[in-house]
Amino acid sequence: MTSSLATTRFSVLDRSRIRAGRTAGEALRDTVQLAREAERLGYHRFWVAEHHGVPGVAGSAPTVLAAAVAGATRRIRVGTGGVMLPNHRPLVVAEQFGVLESLFPGRIDMGLGRSVGFTDGVRRALGREKDDAEDFDAQLAELLGWFRGTSPTGGVHARPSEGLTVPPFVLAMGEGAAVAARAGLPMVIGDLRDRDRMRRGIDRYRAGFRPSEWSAEPYVVVSGTVAVAATAEEARRLLVPEAWSMAEARTRGSFPPLPPAEEVGARTMTGKERDLYEAGLAGHVAGTEEQVADELERLVKETGAQEVLVTTSTYDREALLESYRRLARVTGTGPLGAPA
């Protein structure tokens, strides 16, 4: 293991992807099981996500799922990647994280995003519009104010949140890097397939960072798909189900449950489907342990990231778990050895 990886934190984001022929309940229980394994392997954090109205994703209520994960683990940090703040009132978000932090003190993270829904129908159901994300700065300031007792709503206090410190992170999609810099918060950026754009976002974040009571210095978390297997071909095979689901979503408007890789291989695809599918297989970190170690070493050196947040989805559950085990060996987390 190289020195850069030895000093870099590695964490896990799971989106509770439903597998073909399985139920949403099974997907959620799989997430909890994966969190236990991530803790055993020494990963630093385990985060869950927020998606609404997506047939292939069970994770629609991240703070509820985070509570289940925290209750099933003992040491690993637990959080959200993220709660989409435009979909919620800041007071309610503060209360939810206040409850989590009160139940699991010192273990809760508050990852926050600015997406307002995948489709027009979902946005209408949430009572939101695309331009609601433009108010993210104000929503973020109000949310953080509830923890410090400074939100300007006369006589109202967030209970049990006020006075607690729950580390906030901003998911940096588009203008998110500038928002994180202005607020003085850690940033999570996920543009592995466009490294130039990712580096530009990180540079803007560091250049514009204003120290705050939440973070004295810039803190960069790079997020992306990592797949590790005995051979490069097996690692690529892990990417197949998600790549096809993305291709189907962009051609048919539905993001389906993950199919087996062999089923995808037997499909007759249109030209557009094939192009999208091949694009979905590209740009990730995938290969043998040695190949992945080399690629992660380059990524960390290029970005100066303090942490890598790994999100991997595939149909074969055991192969997924084995990928995380191999990655733990690559990064040196080691069983029961999470960094402080």
Cis check: omega of the bond before 271, within 30 degrees of 0: no
Residue 100 lies inside a defined structural domain of this protein? yes
Q: Answer yes or no: is 301 within a domain.
A: yes
Separation between Cα atoms, residue 175 and residue 314, nearest integer Å: 30
Would 340 be classed as within a structural domain? no
Give the model's pLDDT for residue 336: 44
Distance CA 53, CA 236 (A): 29
Read off the pLDDT of residues 204-231 as tens digits, 9 standing for 90 and up.
999 999 999 999 999 999 999 999 999 9
Q: How far apart are CA 272 and CA 50, in angstroms?
A: 29
Domain span at 206: 3-331
Is the pTM higher than 0.85? The answer reads yes
Which regions of the chain are under pLDDT 70?
1-3, 117-123, 129-134, 174, 334-340
DSSP string, 167-201: -EEEE-STTHHHHHHHHT--EEE--TT-HHHHHHH
Burial class (CB in 10 A: 0-12, 13-18, 19+), 106: exposed
Q: Give the DSSP H or E segment for 9.
A: strand 9-14
Nearest C-alpha neighbor of 183 from the set 221, 149, 136, 222: 136
In a domain, 202, yes or no: yes
**Hey, what are 248's tokens?**
């189907």
Residue 10 carries which side chain, given as an amino acid letter?
F
Overall number of domains in the chain: 1
Phi, psi of 11, deg, nearest 5: -135, 175
- How far apart are the C-alpha atoms of 162 and 312, rounded to whole Å? 35
In a domain, 168, yes or no: yes
The pLDDT value recorded for residue 161 is 95
Domain-located, residue 214: yes
- The string of DSSP letters for 310-329 reads E----S-HHHHHHHHHHHHH
In this structure, what CATH number is given to the domain that contains residue 44?
3.20.20.30
Decide if 339 is inside a domain. Answer: no
Q: 56 near 23, Cβ under 8 Å?
A: no
**291 closest CA partner among 218, 232, 236:** 232
Instruction: Give the CA distances from residue 275 to residues 78, 156, 251, 252, in Å, rounded to whole numbers and listed in that order.
Output: 37, 53, 11, 14
In this structure, is residue 336 part of a structural domain?
no
Give the CA distances from residue 62 to residues 14, 65, 146, 221, in Å, rounded to whole numbers and listed in that order.
Answer: 11, 5, 20, 19
